[in-house]
Chain A
Amino acid sequence: MTTLQRKEVNPIAHLSPEDIEQIGRELDAIRDEVLAVRGEKDANYIRRMIAVQRRIELGSRALLLFSLFPPAWILGTAGLSISKILENMEIGHNILHGQYDFMRDPKIHSTTWEWDSASPAEQWKHSHNELHHKYTNVVGRDNDLGYGIMRVDEQQKWVPAHLGQPLYNFINACFFEYGIAAYDLELGRNLKTKKRRSNPAFRENLRAVGRKIRRQVLKDYVVHPALAIPVGFLMGNPFGAFLGTLAANAVASLVRNLWSHSVIMCGHFPNGVETFERTSITGETRGEWYLRQMLGSANISGSKLMHIMTGNLSHQIEHHLFPDLPASRYAEIAPKVRALFEKYELNYVTGPMVVQVASAWAKVFRLALPNRKAAKEIDYSIPPRHPAEQPAGV
C-alpha cells in the first residue's frame, strides 16, 4: 500500500472537515449506546468464557496424562490448542485492553491480568494499547506495520534483506509469542548500541521477559510432560509418555501461534487498508483519529464461532474505533458502523479469512522487492488541514 497522503486518488477527498467531525460525533453516539447497556451481561460473558476456557484446559491436560493413547493425545492436543487460543484472544487480549475494568473485579482487570504468552502483560500493554492503538498505521510510528522485520508499505525503505521477508514472516508466525515478546522489548532497536543495551529500564524488561519465558517453558515442556510419566511407567514407556505430552504442548502452542498470527495479519495488512504519513497526525482531532482507525483496519467475515476464536478481532474496525468496549459487543454495533461507512462513502474492508490471509501474504511477497516506480510527493492537505498547521521544513 501507499500512504494516503501520496495516493494518486485520495479516497477521502469528498469529506470536508465538518464531515470528519460529524463522523466523530456519530461514532461517539454509538459508543454511548453501548455504554448505556454495558453491565451484567458483559460481566457474565467474560466470567463464563474464563470458566469454559479453564475447564477445557483442565480437561485437555488431564487427557494428556494418557498421551500414550493416540485418541487421548489427539483430543487433548486439540482441546489445549483451543484453550490457548481462547486464553490469548477472547480473554487475555480483551481484558488487557481494559474492556472489563468497569466490573471493578480485581481478578478480571487490565492492571492485574497475566496471560499465557511469552510477553509479560505489562510490556505488551505498552507496545499494543499505548503505541499501536494510538498511532495505528502511521508509517514510522506504528511498529505493527511489519513488526520491524518486514516491509509492508511502499513508503518503508527497501533494503536487500527484505528479499527474505516471506521466510521471516513464516518463522515469526510459528514462534509468534516470542516474536511479540521481542517486539515489545523493541529488541532490534535496543540491541543496536551499547548505551541502549545497558539502559536499566531495558535490562529490567529483558529480565521480566526471561522470567516469564522460563516459567512458560517449564510449564509446557517440563512439568506437564513429567506429570504423564506415572501413567507411562505403568504402561512400560515413561519416556514415551513424557515426549508425547511435550509434543502435544508444542503442537498446541504452534497452532495458537499460527492462528493468532493469521488473525493479526488480517487486521491491518490486507488490500484496501490505508496507511498514513507521520506528519499527517500532528494536531489530529478526535474525528480525524476515528477516521484513521476506520481507514486503517480490516474485518474478517464469518460465523459466531470464528468471531469468538479470533477474540472478536475479526471486528478489527469496531475494535480500533472502540478498543475499551467489551469485544462481544462489536458484532452488535458492526451494522451501524458499516452504515456510517456507506453514508460517508468510505471503504469498509472485510472478507473471509482465507481471502484476507492470502491478501496479506501477497503483500509480504510483493514488498520483498523494491518499488517499481518512485512515490508521489506528500500531499499535506490530507486529511484536510489548515496550511498554518503544516509542520515547517518537512
Chain B
Amino acid sequence: MPVTQKLRNGAWRVVELITTPVVPADYLDVIAPLRNPTVLRARIEAVHRETANAVTLELRPGRNWEQHRPGQYIRLGVDVNGTRLWRAYSVSSAAGRKDGRFTVTVNAVQDGVVSGHLLRHAKRGMIVNLDLPTGDFVLPSTPPAKALFVTAGSGITPVMGMLRSALHQMPDVVVVHSARTADDVVFGAELRALASSGRIRLIERHTRADGRLKPAELASLVPDLFERDTWACGPGEMLDDLGSHWTDAGAADRLHVERFRPTVLVAGDGGTVAFERTGTVADAPAGTSILEAGEAAGQLMKSGCRMGICFKCVLPMREGIVRDLRDGTLTTVTEVDGANVLIQTCISAAAGPCRFDA
C-alpha cells in the first residue's frame, strides 16, 4: 500500500474517533445531505406539472450515483407523514445529461399515498432517498431499425426516456399510446411535436371515447407488427393480452414488457408465513403472533419481552400484510420496500401470506 494511502487511512480513523459513536457522515448530513457516501439521496431541483394527474420531478442525485440506461427505473424513498415509503418510478429523461440531473414522472394512482403526496407537496429543495437505476426493460446498445412502443397511461414514462435518449439512432419508430382522454396523455405535446415533424408515427387511443385497444386491432394500425422490436409498458391485463398475441404469432422474443403496477395486497385473517433464508413455512392463523407461529414451526426466533415493548423480535418483511394484535393497525409491505421494513413479530399476526428475510 502506498504511504499516502496509509496516511489517509490513519487520518480517517482519527476522524472516525472524533465523531464516535456515530460516523463522520452523520455530522456531514446536518449540512450536506447529498455528500453522504453510504446513503444515496437526491434533491428535487424543479417540479413540472405534466397533466392534471402527473408531475415530473427533476432530481439532482448525490454522491455515488450511477447513470441510468434508458428505460430503467429507480426506487424513490419519500417521507409521507413522517414514514419513509418506497415506490418505483421510471426515469423519463435522456441518459447522460450534462448537468448530471435526471427526471422521473409520477402519475397519481387511485388512493396512491406516495404519488398523491408528490403531486401535492413535491417542491424544489426537498430531499428524497433513492436507489441506483435498475431493470432490464432497456434498448439494446444498437437500437433496432424498426421499433414499436405500445404503452398505456403512465407506461409512457420509460419509453419517453428511451425516445429522448436514442430517437436519433432509430429511423422508424411507431408509438401506440392509450390514455383516457387527449388531455391525459403524459408528454402529449412533446409526442405530438415529434409526430408532426415526422420523427415518429404516433397513434393515440383515447379509451374513454374509443374503448380499450385490443391486440387484434394493432395489426390493422401497424401492419408490419411482428417485423418490429416491441417494447410494451402498461397495466398487467394489457401486457398479458399482448404477450399471448405475440406468442401465438411465434414472435415472443421480439416483445419486451415492463409491469409497473405491483401486486395489490388485501388484508384478510391469518396466512402462511415464509422465512425465506431457512425455508421454514409456518401456518399463522388470525390472533396468533408471527413469533409464536414461527416457533411452533421450528424456526429459531429472537424474542424478548413478548409484549411489544422491547423491539428485540423484529424481522425484516419482504412482502405481506400484518395486523397489530394490540390495536388492529395494518402494515403492508411490498417488494419495492426493499426488505427494510421491520416487523415486531411478537405483537403482529399475519393478515395474508407474508415473506420474511430470515
Which A positions have Cβ atoms within 8 angstroms of B?
28, 31-32, 35, 38-44, 51, 54-55, 58, 97-98, 101-107, 109-111, 114-116, 125-126, 129-130, 133-134, 212, 215-216, 218-219, 223-224, 227, 289, 323-324
How far is B309's CA from A289's CA once the two chains are assembled, in angstroms?
A: 12
* Segment from B14-22, B102-110, B251-259 that makes contact with A: B14-22
23 residue pairs bridging A and B, Cβ less than 8 Å apart = A35-B327, A35-B329, A38-B82, A40-B79, A42-B82, A43-B79, A54-B26, A54-B30, A97-B311, A102-B82, A103-B82, A104-B84, A105-B79, A107-B39, A109-B342, A125-B312, A126-B310, A129-B310, A130-B305, A219-B18, A223-B18, A224-B18, A227-B18
> Known contacts A134-B310, A223-B18, A289-B307; can you find 20 more A-B pairs with CB under 8 A?
A28-B327, A39-B83, A40-B79, A43-B82, A44-B82, A97-B311, A98-B311, A101-B342, A103-B84, A104-B340, A110-B311, A111-B311, A111-B314, A126-B310, A129-B309, A130-B309, A133-B310, A134-B307, A216-B20, A224-B18
> Do B305 and A134 touch across chains, with their CB atoms under 8 A apart?
yes
Closest 3 CB pairs of A and B: A43-B82, A129-B310, A39-B81
B304, CB-defined interface residue at 8 Å = yes
B167, CB-defined interface residue at 8 Å = no
**Which of B82, B307, B309, B329 is close to A41, meaning CB atoms less than 8 Å apart?**
B82
* A54 touching B27 in the complex, CB below 8 Å, given contacts A31-B327, A104-B341, A133-B310: yes
Closest to B86 in A: A104
Q: Interface code B180-201, partner A: CB below 8 Å = 1, 0 otherwise?
A: 0000000000000000000000
How far is B148's CA from A10's CA once the two chains are assembled, in angstroms?
A: 83
Which B positions have Cβ atoms within 8 angstroms of A?
14, 17-18, 20-22, 26-27, 29-30, 39, 79, 81-85, 304-305, 307-312, 314, 326-327, 329, 340-342
How far is B273's CA from A358's CA once the two chains are assembled, in angstroms?
A: 53
Closest to A129 in B: B310
> Do A129 and B312 touch across chains, with their CB atoms under 8 A apart?
yes
Closest to B341 in A: A104
Interfacial chain B residues near A224, Cβ < 8 Å: 18
> Do A129 and B304 touch across chains, with their CB atoms under 8 A apart?
yes
**Which of A51, A98, A126, A218 is close to B30, meaning CB atoms less than 8 Å apart?**
A51
Question: Would you give the shortest CB distance from A39 to chain B, in whole angstroms?
Answer: 4
> Do A125 and B82 touch across chains, with their CB atoms under 8 A apart?
no
How far is B310's CA from A329's CA once the two chains are assembled, in angstroms?
A: 19
Closest to A284 in B: B307
Interfacial chain B residues near A115, Cβ < 8 Å: 21
Interface residues of A: mostly helix, strand, loop or mixed? helix
> Do A130 and B18 touch across chains, with their CB atoms under 8 A apart?
no
Interfacial chain A residues near B310, Cβ < 8 Å: 125-126, 129-130, 133-134
How far is B22's CA from A129's CA once the two chains are assembled, in angstroms?
A: 22
> Do B84 and A130 touch across chains, with their CB atoms under 8 A apart?
no
Question: Would you give the shortest CB distance from A252 to chain B, in whole angstroms?
Answer: 15
How far is B173's CA from A186's CA once the two chains are assembled, in angstroms?
A: 73
**Which of B17, B29, B312, B314 is close to A130, meaning CB atoms less than 8 Å apart?**
B312
Interfacial chain B residues near A324, Cβ < 8 Å: 308-309, 311
> Do A104 and B21 touch across chains, with their CB atoms under 8 A apart?
no
* A129 touching B18 in the complex, CB below 8 Å, given contacts A102-B83, A134-B310: no
Closest to A324 in B: B309
Question: Would you give the shortest CB distance from B326 to chain A, in whole angstroms?
Answer: 7
Interfacial chain A residues near B79, Cβ < 8 Å: 40, 43, 103, 105
Interfacial chain B residues near A215, Cβ < 8 Å: 17, 20-21
Interfacial chain A residues near B17, Cβ < 8 Å: 215, 218-219, 223
Interfacial chain A residues near B342, Cβ < 8 Å: 101, 109, 111
Interfacial chain A residues near B30, Cβ < 8 Å: 51, 54-55
Question: Would you give the shortest CB distance from B334 to chain A, in whole angstroms?
Answer: 13
How far is B129's CA from A106's CA once the two chains are assembled, in angstroms?
A: 11
Question: Would you give the shortest CB distance from B323 to chain A, in whole angstroms?
Answer: 14
Interfacial chain B residues near A42, Cβ < 8 Å: 82
Closest to A58 in B: B27
Interfacial chain B residues near A102, Cβ < 8 Å: 82-83
Question: Would you give the shortest CB distance from B147 to chain A, in whole angstroms?
Answer: 40
How far is B82's CA from A44's CA once the two chains are assembled, in angstroms?
A: 7
Interfacial chain A residues near B341, Cβ < 8 Å: 104
**Which of A39, A126, A289 is close to B312, meaning CB atoms less than 8 Å apart?**
A126
Interfacial chain A residues near B309, Cβ < 8 Å: 129-130, 133-134, 323-324
**Which of B14, B82, B305, B340 is close to A133, meaning CB atoms less than 8 Å apart?**
B305
Closest to A44 in B: B82
Interfacial chain A residues near B83, Cβ < 8 Å: 39, 43, 102-104
> Do A28 and B82 touch across chains, with their CB atoms under 8 A apart?
no
Closest to A323 in B: B309
Question: Would you give the shortest CB distance from A56 to chain B, in whole angstroms?
Answer: 11
Interfacial chain B residues near A106, Cβ < 8 Å: 340
Question: Would you give the shortest CB distance from B308 to chain A, in whole angstroms?
Answer: 7
Closest to B14 in A: A223
Interfacial chain B residues near A116, Cβ < 8 Å: 21
How far is B305's CA from A263's CA once the two chains are assembled, in angstroms?
A: 24
Question: Would you give the shortest CB distance from A120 to chain B, in whole angstroms?
Answer: 9
Interfacial chain A residues near B308, Cβ < 8 Å: 324
Question: Would you give the shortest CB distance from B150 to chain A, in whole angstroms?
Answer: 36
Question: Would you give the shortest CB distance from B250 to chain A, in whole angstroms?
Answer: 47
Closest to B19 in A: A219
How far is B309's CA from A103's CA once the two chains are assembled, in angstroms?
A: 17
Interfacial chain A residues near B326, Cβ < 8 Å: 28, 31
Interfacial chain B residues near A40, Cβ < 8 Å: 79, 81-82
Most buried by A among B79, B81, B310, B341: B310
Interfacial chain A residues near B29, Cβ < 8 Å: 107
Interfacial chain B residues near A216, Cβ < 8 Å: 20-21
Closest to A117 in B: B21
> Do B21 and A114 touch across chains, with their CB atoms under 8 A apart?
yes
Most buried by B among A35, A43, A98, A227: A98
Question: Would you give the shortest CB distance from B289 to chain A, in whole angstroms?
Answer: 14
